[in-house]
Amino acid sequence: MIRITGDQGTGALGYGRSGNKGIRKIDREVKMKKYSLVLVFLVIGISLFSWQAEAACRNPNIVRGGYSLRPATASGAVEIKWFGHSFFQITSSEGTKLITDPFGLMGFPMPEVWPHVITVGREHGNHNNVGLAKGAPLILRGLKVGGQDWNEVNLRFRDVLIYNVPVHQRGVPGFPEALKGSAFVFEVDGLCICHSGDVSEPFNEDQLQLIGHVDILLQTIGGVYTIGPEGAKKVVEQLKPKIVVPMHYWYHMNVLERFVDGPYQARFLNTNSFTANKDTLPFKTEIYIPKVMREGDL
């Protein structure tokens, strides 16, 4: 018990002039402690906010709506399966399935897929065969109807954040115009996975800002209308991913050989899929080459 006595005490507690000074002193001390606690919590809150922004793929200063300020669930295992060309299936640790650029008839076996989401980076039969998918998936197109204008995508579906970045593909020889398309980025289980789309040259600074941090890069290397092996190496240097998966080279193994001829360790896989975890990514960039699927493999 606190007993305060002053020159003019009243009962057990004196509230004279000296007593008032004592009370004011205690009040100030209590308030200072409250302010200190508020300051501590404020600092902790700012630190957590900063950590969240750093953990996300995209630069939070350029995100509309603030989706990227909340990082996806970390440390879960993500499965990445390649069916050929630009067609991948990404499955989160919670079972969310996304497929990218499903192809039509072009020589690869046609898989049976039941995705929750389909992304289409280019309106071409080798990339937009959404009818292949079973069920009723959400379809996210990088271009608006007609394929002449870019369509902004930036949303969270279940445990995955998805956004796109405008890219160009070279046109047919003799025609100067470039064809529009989209790269897509998936933030899932703490991993930032970038599907480059039919990009025809290394990314410019604006595109790099929009893409953000990349852990796993699904990179076009085919050449002709898209970026070739040498240009693709420059993209790897730009984004500095931990894992690179080459795509869009059909069965042209000589193109693949030109891409893997460089400073990065190449791992040729026995299957068309692998799993990745944020906590077990390679320390240095490695190239993962899934098995190229042929008739009878599925």
Output DSSP code: residue 282: -
Q: Do 131 and 4 fall within a single domain?
A: no
Q: 14 pLDDT band (50/70/90 cuts)?
A: very low
Q: Are residues 161 and 184 in the same domain?
A: yes
Query: Looking at 55-69, 101-115, 238-252, which range is the least confident one?
Result: 55-69
Consecutive H or E run containing 9: strand 9-10
What is the reported pLDDT for 22? 53
Q: Exposed/middle/buried for 257, CB within 10 Å: 0-12, 13-18, 19+?
A: exposed
Give CA–CA dist 264/231, Å, rounded: 15
Choose the final residue of a domain: 35, 55, 75: 55
What's the pLDDT score for residue 13? Answer: 36
CATH number for the domain spanning 257: value is 3.60.15.10
DSSP 169-232: E---TT--PPEEEEEEEEEETTEEEEE--S--S---HHHHHHH---SEEEEE---TTS--HHHH
Q: Is residue 122 part of a domain?
A: yes
Residues 220 and 177: their CA atoms lie apart, in Å, by: 20
Question: Based on the domain organization, do 51 and 83 belong to the same domain?
Answer: no
pLDDT reading at 263 higher than 60: yes
Choice between 110 and 33, residue whose per-residue pLDDT is larger: 110
Domain boundary among 15, 36, 55: 55
User: Looking at the domain assignment, is residue 87 inside a domain?
Assistant: yes
Residue type, 137: P
Domains identified in the chain, total number: 2
Run of H or E residues at 239: helix 229-239
Asked if residue 38 and residue 6 are part of one domain, the reply reads yes
Residue 129 shares a structural domain with residue 7: no
pLDDT recorded at residue 33: 54
- Are 109 and 31 contained in the same domain? no
Q: Do 81 and 6 share a structural domain?
A: no
Same domain, yes or no: 165 and 242: yes
Using CA atoms, how far apart are residues 271 and 181, in angstroms rounded to an integer?
29
Q: Is 294 part of a structural domain of the chain?
A: no
Q: Are residues 140 and 202 in the same domain?
A: yes
Residues 6 or more apart from 275 whose CB is under 8 A from it?
Answer: 77, 78, 79, 80
The answer as to whether 298 is a domain residue is no
Q: What is the pTM of this model?
A: 0.78
C-alpha 287, offset from chain centre: 18
Per-residue tokens: 90: 């990404």
Coil/strand/helix, residue 98: strand
Residues 140 and 284 in one domain: yes
Find where tokens 């399966």 sit. Answer: 81
Radius of gyration of the chain (CA): 28
- Give residue 31's domain range: 1-55
Q: Are residues 89 and 155 in the same domain?
A: yes
Q: Count Cβ atoms below 10 Å from residue 230 Cβ, excluding itself.
A: 13
Q: What is the pLDDT of residues 19-63, one digit of tens each?
A: 555 545 545 554 555 555 444 344 334 333 333 333 379 876 665
